[in-house]
């Protein structure tokens, strides 16, 4: 396992970009992509009117966020299994629900797989189909947005306070032709560093989420929350933690998203933690459900599975993170916020 990590670090260091079109800590517009079935190809857009006719008003937004480990072998098989699991969850949603998927630690190979997947082509806009907007060419974030929600704009904010080329990927969506929702996909800085970088990164993200013209905004992803200060990042930036808002408790099995499927020696060394989170603000929607997902998803090929377990894992899991999902009820403009209770999806 240690040798795999060393190899990946070497690859990453060789793919850091020096000539980039953005300024750090500033929003940099980027296109998103829609698949045209008549032309059998993806086309880039910067904004769009309604993308897919829908007979039902959007009453709920369902967010799925998942970090698919980029360091392990068999990337296509592991991402393929992740997408199959996501499809099984999304297929059960009602027509009035718009799903959005945040993925972290995507590789260029993952992006090619996303682009070739029929259910994604049919139902989603995809922010990134190649790595031009990643500061590191080896891995980054991408967001899949239901075509029920017109995309107004997509932009990235590349952090100056980072040693690992991290950024926030933002998308503004139009819900029911009346409200703009701003969503941010984030992979915050890894490891315990002195001075810490995650607070500065979250502060910059929050500045964009608190725009007065945006009635609802959220940030989700792998927050690498492993230090005491991580527990207050949401209150420090005037955001609400979805898990805690519905009665979740820190240091409980229900909240842990990393450790259960980590390499055995890492779990024994570091234990389990709630690395992956969803924060939100605004009266345009209320959180009505939260849970983790992706538990126990494994590679099915025996040869590939043996290679993964041979690296020190209990089973041939496709990633060391569980995903997190939250359900938000859309509040019609002018109706105000309604108090909600604990919910599971």
Residue 230 has pLDDT above 50, yes or no: yes
CB 216 within 8 A of CB 280: yes
Q: pLDDT tens across 31-46, in order?
A: 999 999 999 999 999 9
Q: What average pLDDT does the chain have?
A: 92
Q: What is the Cα gyration radius of the chain?
A: 19
Q: pLDDT tens across 57-103, in order?
A: 999 999 999 999 999 999 999 999 999 999 999 999 999 999 999 99
pLDDT band at 342, cuts 50/70/90? very low
Please give the backbone phi and psi of residue 301, each rounded to the nearest 5 degrees, phi first: -75, 120
pLDDT band at 337, cuts 50/70/90? very low
CA distance 242 to 223: 14
Using the CB atoms, write b or e for 269-286: b if 16+ within 10 Å: eeebbbbbbbbbbbebbb
Would residue 334 be called left, alpha or beta, if left means φ above 0 and alpha means ψ between -120 and 50 degrees? left
Residue 3 has a pLDDT of: 56
Residue 338 has a pLDDT of: 36
Residue 251 has a pLDDT of: 97
What is the arithmetic mean of pLDDT over 255-263? 98
CB 66 within 8 A of CB 103: yes
Structural tokens at position 111: 């992006």
> pTM of the prediction?
0.94
pLDDT band at 340, cuts 50/70/90? very low
Indicate the fold that domain 2-330 takes in CATH. Deoxyribonuclease I; Chain A (3.60.10)
Task: For residue 107, give the DSSP letter.
Answer: -
Per domain, the residue ranges of the chain are 2-330
């Amino acid at each position: 396992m240690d040798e795999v990590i060393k190899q990946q670090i070497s690859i990453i260091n060789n793919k850091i970009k020096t000539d980039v079109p953005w300024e750090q800590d500033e929003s940099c517009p980027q296109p998103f992509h829609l698949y045209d079935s008549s032309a059998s190809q993806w086309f880039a857009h910067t904004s769009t009117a309604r993308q897919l006719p829908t007979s039902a008003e959007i009453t709920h937004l369902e967010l799925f966020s998942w970090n698919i480990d980029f360091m392990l072998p068999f990337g296509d098989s592991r991402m393929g299994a992740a997408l199959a699991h996501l499809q099984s969850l999304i297929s059960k949603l009602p027509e009035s629900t718009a799903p959005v998927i945040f993925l972290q630690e995507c590789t260029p190979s993952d992006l090619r797989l996303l682009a070739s997947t029929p259910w994604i082509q049919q139902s989603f806009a995809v922010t990134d189909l190649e790595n031009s907007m990643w500061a590191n060419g080896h891995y980054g974030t991408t967001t899949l947005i239901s075509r029920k929600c017109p995309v107004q704009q997509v932009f990235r904010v590349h952090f100056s306070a980072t040693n690992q080329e991290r950024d926030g990927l933002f998308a503004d969506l139009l819900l029911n032709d009346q409200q703009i929702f701003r969503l941010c996909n984030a992979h915050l800085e890894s490891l315990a560093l002195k001075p810490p970088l995650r607070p500065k990164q979250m502060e910059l993200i929050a500045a964009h989420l608190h725009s007065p013209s945006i009635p609802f905004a959220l940030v989700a992803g792998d927050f690498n929350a492993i230090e005491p200060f991580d527990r207050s990042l949401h209150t420090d930036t005037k955001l609400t933690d979805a898990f805690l808002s519905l009665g979740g408790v820190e240091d409980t099995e229900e909240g842990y998203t990393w450790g259960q499927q980590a390499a055995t020696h890492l779990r024994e060394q570091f234990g389990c933690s709630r690395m992956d989170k969803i924060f939100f603000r605004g009266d345009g929607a209320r959180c009505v459900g939260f849970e983790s997902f992706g538990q126990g998803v494994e590679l099915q090929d025996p040869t590939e599975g043996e290679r993964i377990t041979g690296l020190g894992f209990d089973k041939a899991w496709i990633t060391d993170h569980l995903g997190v999902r939250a359900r938000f009820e859309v509040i019609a403009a002018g109706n105000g916020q309604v108090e909600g209770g604990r919910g599971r999806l």
